Amino acid sequence: KAVQDGKQVAVMVPTTLLVHQHLSTFGERFAGFPVTVRPLSRFQSDAEIRETLDGLREGTVDVVIGTHRLLSPDVKFKDLGLLIVDEEQRFGVEHKEAMKRMRTEVDVLAMSATPIPRTLEMGLTGIREMSTILTPPEERHPVLTFVGPYDEKQIAAAIRRELMRDGQTFFVHNRVRSIDRVAARLAELVPEARIAGAHGQMNEAQLEKIMVDFWERAYDVLVCTTIVESGLDVPNANTLIVDRADSYGLAQLHQLRGRVGRGRERGYAYFLYPPDVPLTETAHERLATIAQHTHLGAGMAVAMKDL
């Protein structure tokens, strides 16, 4: 609608991987229309970025999908009409203030499964309009959630069960230092699985290649950091194992669980904590909340609990 009325649209997302993914989706949807969609993130070369920036200034680019890079001072729009913020919970107050300064007449649509308390409060008090989507996609089931101590036998069994139905597994380990060690250990436990690792400190080309290979089912298990937390859509990956789940925030746990069970298959999520260390009260409460709210659309209940 905005593009038809001659305005430009900016879609802002938290990670480069998500830019990549949105770009292919938007490309498919707009294939039959005269709409120019361009990406803006560190995955692009300097020449491509310069071209996109010129296009935005001259008005030849209709839709731009980018990371925080969109807030840089060198990004000038000819006539911005709509700003869409995907995964709103990942952007801080400064980012949101910078967006407001971009122009006063911009409409903003912020989307999130787990809005941060400040945004949620604005919605509840009526400062901002809020609408919730309560209808799940067809044939989508709630994710079966297990919370328990770290147990290698259980992990191996979960990965094998996923292999048996030709599915894929996310194994989230949020320490870049020891991620290779964890991947090696998994390879010993389940030698028949093809395992790859991904984290934000890799160079762009390498990271992009691993993610594309994972989408195309070249690997069975992706050992990764929370880089996969926001909005990634891999319908064939339906088992999620989170190591040290006691060290994540509530919204983070819910977002991670949202990575599985996105197709017709039933999703499984395992939130594991070290068996030998007592849990703090907050961690216990977080894990209990996540185990309790497993229905579709539970993000709202989780965000309320956070608030």
215-235 confidence digits (pLDDT tens)? 899 999 999 998 888 767 888
* Pairing state between β 37-40 and 268-273: unpaired
The pTM of this model reads 0.80
| SS3 assignment, position 54 | helix
131/147 Cα distance (integer angstroms): 31
Tokens of 276: 């030998």
Higher pLDDT, 122 or 93: 122
Q: Maximum CA pair distance of the chain?
A: 61
pLDDT the model gives residue 221 = 96
Q: How much of the chain exceeds pLDDT 70, in percent?
A: 99
- Reported as a pLDDT band with limits 50, 70 and 90, residue 194 is very high
78-103 confidence digits (pLDDT tens)? 999 999 999 888 888 788 778 777 76
18/142 Cα distance (integer angstroms): 23
| SS3 assignment, position 17 | helix
Residues whose CB is less than 8 angstroms from the CB of residue 180 and which lie 6 or more positions away in sequence, other chains included: 197
- Reported as a pLDDT band with limits 50, 70 and 90, residue 251 is confident
Q: How much of the chain exceeds pLDDT 90, in percent?
A: 58
Contact indicator for 225, 176 with CB cutoff of 8 Å = yes
Please report which residue ranges of the chain form alpha helices under DSSP H.
16-29, 46-58, 93-102, 117-124, 152-164, 179-189, 204-215, 250-257, 281-292, 299-306
Higher pLDDT, 246 or 204: 246
| SS3 assignment, position 272 | strand
110/83 Cα distance (integer angstroms): 8
Residues whose CB is less than 8 angstroms from the CB of residue 137 and which lie 6 or more positions away in sequence, other chains included: none
Which among 237, 240, 273 has a CA at the least distance from the CA of 255? 240
Element of type H or E holding 147: strand 144-149
Helices 250-257 and 281-292: angle between axes, nearest 10 degrees = 30
